[in-house]
Structure 1
Amino acid sequence: MAPSGEAITHLLGEVGWQPEQLARRLNECAERHGRSERLHLKTPYKWKKGDVPRSPWPSLTMALLSEQLQRTITLDELGWPDDGFEALPASAGLELPWSPAGALQAAEVVNESEGMMHRRMFLTLLGSALTSPAHEWLITPPSRAAASTTGRPLSPEVVDHLDAVTASLRRMDDHLGSGQTLGLVRQHLSTVVGVLRDRRYADSVGRRLHATAGELLRLAGWLSFDNGHHSQAQRFWIAGLYQAHAAGDRGLGANILGFMSCQAKDLGQLRQSITLAETARASYPATSPKVSTILDLRAAEAYANNRSVTDTRRALDSAFDRLTDTRPDHGDPDWSYWVNEAQAHAQAGYCYVKLEDWSRAREHLRAALRLQSNEYTREGALRNALLATTYVQQAQPDLDKALALGDQAVQTLTGQVTSARCIKHVRNLVGALGPYRRTPAVRAFCQDAKDLIAT
């Protein structure tokens, strides 16, 4: 074991980073894993001189350097003692049978109390590890019967009540955001898991219960992702795939893959984002136009981030075409309620922002804002921030319009809803306004946004 100063100096040289770069990447890594701690940019210089970092920086450094160098770096190699954290991939504990029993265990594993997890750190899945659960879900044969023969009998009406609570939580998220809703979702998930485990029910009721648990796990993953906790989101979504399989619900599973694709693009995993989006589209039997629209929009986002203009436009055209298709006799899944013309325009606007086609982006985002029923929501804040960005980035910037829209987004995110994902777009807007900081109105807006961005 080399002295710690020599080891970290050697590894930094191998990866090509200065100490300040290591500190920045570690702060990003901490944020990605839901940690609140942050490093001063000069601190790693002390490590090069032999100082031993405090927890959780040894485990985070080990994980980050292993990721960069594509080999396992240990604390022993770094010359640092164990800091008490167990660093595990987000899929840890979820290598389970694709059966109702495996699905139940997966839900119990990911919904364990936070007190049991405070010394455990889950590392965000990247590369092929991101798409592996999707592939397993896709190729696994249909699940066996989901009935239970132990405990007191359960009537289908109870599932109706559980689903009504789930629907309320979905809509609560629209108005409160991720920060205030996740705890309630986890509590309700615990109730559903308890019913799955302890009651007696027929196969049809069991499949409905697994679908309910799967949708709650999908929602918990979305709330975690929206709040910037990527590894936690991945754990919920993988467990959700187990539930979708046990329920025999291809639409639910495809929807989860769509959300995983959305996260992958935010993580810079662009090829994996496309793979997940196309797997979702290919796996769904297209029985609901709304669900098909959702999956097409996810694919469009993935292609837009990869700067594939033709594929983006093709996916958007398909989404708008499907949105007007006749509704099926059996109805659409309740979780697809959010897809409407306003949302389709909003996501098309996002795609064209990524493609830097400012006029088309503005056309769609204006339509989305015109059609939305309530501007003081997370989606309203996101649309305002994106539209503001188009006014800054166009050939002749219109700062007055950009600042008015930016102010609206900041007010909503400060007083109405919480969303780390939307705050990131406000941060991007502030960055785009950088060249105009000498303008008093721009300087005032950036100052107003400062506290929000700091969160």
Structure 2
Amino acid sequence: MSQYNPDALCSACTRVHAHDRNTLTVPARVWRDPAVRQALAAWDFGRASQLIRQRGSLRQEDLSQLTGLSQAFLSMLESGSRRLTNIDKIVEFLAGLGVPAELVPLPLPRPVTNPSLPSDLAAEDLDPVLPWTAARMVTALGAAVGGSAMDRRRFLGVSGVALTAFVHQWGTAEVEPLVRAADGSQLTNDLLDSLQQTTDSLRVMDASTGSGTLAELGDAHLAFLKRLVQHASYGEAAGRRLASIIADTATQTGWFTFDSGNHDGTQAYLLAALRAAKASGDIRLGAGALSYMAIHGYSTGSPRSAVIAASAAREKIRNLDAPALEAMLLTRQARGHAKLGEQDEAVAALDRAAELCARGRSEKDPAWLYWINTGEIHGQSGSCYLDLGEPDKAVVSFTQARKALNPADQRTRGLFLTRAASAHLREGDVDAGCATAHEALDLAEQLQSARLNDHIQSMLAELQPVNHTAYARDLQERAAAVMGTRSRT
């Protein structure tokens, strides 16, 4: 029996009108209706649209709001005079309605020969609906680490229904044990300890100095781990542990890649991490990979994907009693809701995250999540309020975050400072905004993070209405000097 929860995904795909905040959603009961399921399975989207409206007591205007398709088009779709054939529009239609992934058979490619991958992997494909074998995990790693730009482009735009396919398979697919009895050297516990320590060291370096110099190191470490999977000898217990180190490293390298500005290359690492997490048997690692998919989503214009990824991860760990892990996922989900203008959902997620964080860590919380604390919760709350157009609340949250953040987490402090400066400026407090912006520049001089650079540019854009003031001119001049120096290093 599948553990996938269509009610949870449907709830995650709730929409809120930007103006009146009236919530629109397709009721969960609709997805259990046999006629609706049959229409979706047959890709009869006109019939599906009509049935979803009728079973959910919705109007065509409501479906238009949810999907982004015009009411006129939906009317023609339901009458049969128009068809929905463009894959991008199909994804928008299904993701906007919150259709559970397992109800729609995706037209994903079948296994094909891929000459850019090693010959022993060429027959394996990256399709999530195929069995999640150890060989396909290695293929996914190859596409991330050693594959061509074309391999990585296969992961671009993995959102909406395509993302839910990966998430669903992670939660339900069977996986074969990672075992290799061969002439290669036997994996020892000491070696595995050392490999995990390398990943842990990269994580700590990232928090203190930024990811600008770490993406290549992560790639090299991941390439070595991939060679061990292919050539070393190990039993099932060692294989699971090796898979867990791969999942952790691939997630971190995906994050390094994203933070260094290469947004297009990020998803290949994270989807490979999801496969490795499955092989490891540790659902917490899969949840970690999904949390970074959520960041990628709300940072690159796909906030609905952030909600889908974070809420699916929460559903999978809901019986684990890992309050810190769930709190972190809730902040990711809240950011997606806030980007969508879904205020009630965002605030509810933040409130629940604060409650869980206050409980403290449990023994089930992963060691790699050492950085989650009340400062992080307050900072993410401030970011949500900024997106929701409430700079006064954002200022309060960012002030609380500064008092509680881990002092060693310099990049996060820098990010929150840029957003706090924007919040002050939107409130009309130029002095406080410029003073906070200078603090952010102090940190920018020490860090290598393209993501922080982007936040600084956004912060500086807030100065446009007050560029005539001495404070603003001084800040602009200093920012130009700092950013110019960073671009030459």
Q: Within 2, Cα distance between the matches of 1:242 and 1:152?
A: 24
Aligned to 1:60: none
Q: Determine if the alignment matches structure 1 residue 345 to structure 2 residue 355.
A: no
Match of 1:305 in 2: 339
Residue number in structure 2 paired with 1:170 = 203
What whole-Å deviation, never above 9, does each CA across 1:206-238 have from its counterpart, x for those lacking one? Answer: 111101001111011111111221221011011
Given the alignment of the two structures, is residue 429 of structure 1 paired with residue 459 of structure 2, yes or no? yes
Structure 1 residue 120, shift from structure 2 partner: 7.5
Distance (whole Å) between structure 2 residues aligned to residue 228 and residue 213 of structure 1:
22
Q: Specify the code of the residue in structure 1 equivalent to 2:176.
A: R
Deviation at 1:93, TM superposition (A): 5.7
| Contact residue 376 and residue 401 of structure 2 kept, 8 A | yes
Equivalent in 357, 364, 388 of residue 323 of structure 1: 357
| Distance across 1 between alignment mates of 2:328 and 2:277 | 17
> Gaps spanning 5+ residues in structure 1: where?
1-65, 71-85, 87-91
Compared with structure 1, are the counterparts of its residues 244 and 376 closer, same or farther at alpha carbon in structure 2 (3 Å cutoff)?
A: closer
Query: Which amino acid is the alignment partner of residue 178 of structure 2?
Result: A
Q: Percent identity?
A: 27
Q: CA deviation at 1:178?
A: 1.4
Report deviation, 1:452: 5.3
1:371 maps to: 404
Aligned counterparts of 2:141 and 2:152: Cα–Cα separation in 1? 18
**Within 5 Å, which residues of 2 pair with 1:117-196?**
117=148, 122=153, 124-125=156-157, 127-128=159-160, 129-141=162-174, 143-150=175-182, 151-196=184-229
Contact 1:175 1:416 in 2 (8 A): no
Q: What code does the residue aligned with 2:206 have?
A: D
Q: Is 1:445 aligned to 2:487, yes or no?
A: no
Change beyond 3 A, Cα 1:287–1:411: same
Instruction: Confirm or deny: 8 A CA contact 1:423 1:452 kept in the other structure.
Output: no
Distance change >3 Å, CA 420–CA 393, structure 1 → 2: same
Structure 1 position 108, deviation (Å): 2.6
**CA shift digits 1:388-410 (9 cap, x unpaired):** 1111111xx22121111111212
Deviates more, 1:425-434 or 1:193-202: 193-202
For residue 235 of structure 1, give the secondary structure of its aligned residue in structure 2. helix
Structure 1's 288 and 121: CA in aligned 2 closer, same or farther, altered over 3 A? closer
Asked whether the equivalents of residues 381 and 394 of structure 2 are also in contact (C-alpha less than 8 Å), the reply is yes
Between the aligned partners of 1:442 and 1:163, the Cα distance in structure 2 is 46
Select which of 310, 319, 326 maps to 1:277. Answer: 310
**Aligned letter for 1:94?**
L
Q: Deviations over 1:309-335 (max 9, x none)?
A: 111111111111111325434x53122
Q: Runs ≥4 in structure 1, deviation > 4 angstroms?
A: 66-70, 118-121, 451-455
What residue number does 1:255 align with?
A: 288
Check 1:67–1:402 CA distance in 2 against 1; reply closer, same or farther (3 A cut).
farther
Q: Which moved more, 1:293-302 or 1:93-102?
A: 93-102
CA distance in 2, matches of 1:347, 1:358: 13
Aligned alpha-carbon RMSD (Å): 2.6
**Matches of 2:300 and 2:409 in 1, distance apart?**
28
C-alpha deviations, 1:94-121, integer Å up to 9, x for none? 3364122221232133111xxx737877
Equivalent residue, structure 1, for 2:137: 103
The correspondence of residues 192-211 of structure 1 with structure 2, limited to 5 A, is: 192-211=225-244
Give the direction of change, closer, same or farther, for the CA distance of 1:373–1:249 in structure 2 (3 Å limit).
closer
Task: Tell me the CA shift for residue 447 of structure 1.
Answer: 2.6
Alignment partners' CA distance in 1, 2:242 and 2:418: 39
Whether 1:417 aligns to 2:417 is: no
Amino acid at match of 1:144: E
Counterpart for residue 231 of structure 1: 264
- Which amino acid letter does the alignment assign opposite residue 240 of structure 2? R
**From 436, 441, 446, the counterpart of 1:405:** 436
Q: Could you say which residue in structure 2 is the equivalent of 1:295?
A: 329
Partners of 1:286 and 1:292 within 8 A in 2: no
Distance, in Å, in 2 between the alignment partners of 1:270 and 1:157 is 42
Given that 1:427 and 1:453 are in contact with CA atoms closer than 8 Å, whether structure 2 keeps it comes out as: no
Contact 2:247–2:285 at 8 Å: present in 1 too?
yes
Do the aligned partners of residues 120 and 294 (structure 1) sit closer, same or farther apart at CA in structure 2, a change above 3 Å counting?
A: closer
Secondary structure (helix, strand or coil) at the match of 2:153 reads strand
Distance 1:322 1:177 in 2: 28
Task: Please list every run of 5 or more consecutive structure 2 residues that lacks an aligned counterpart in the other structure.
Answer: 1-85, 91-115, 117-123
The answer as to whether partners of 1:289 and 1:322 remain within 8 angstroms in 2 is: yes
**SS of equivalent residue, structure 1 residue 145:** coil
Amino acid at match of 2:324: K
Task: Give the equivalent residue in structure 2 for 1:15.
Answer: none
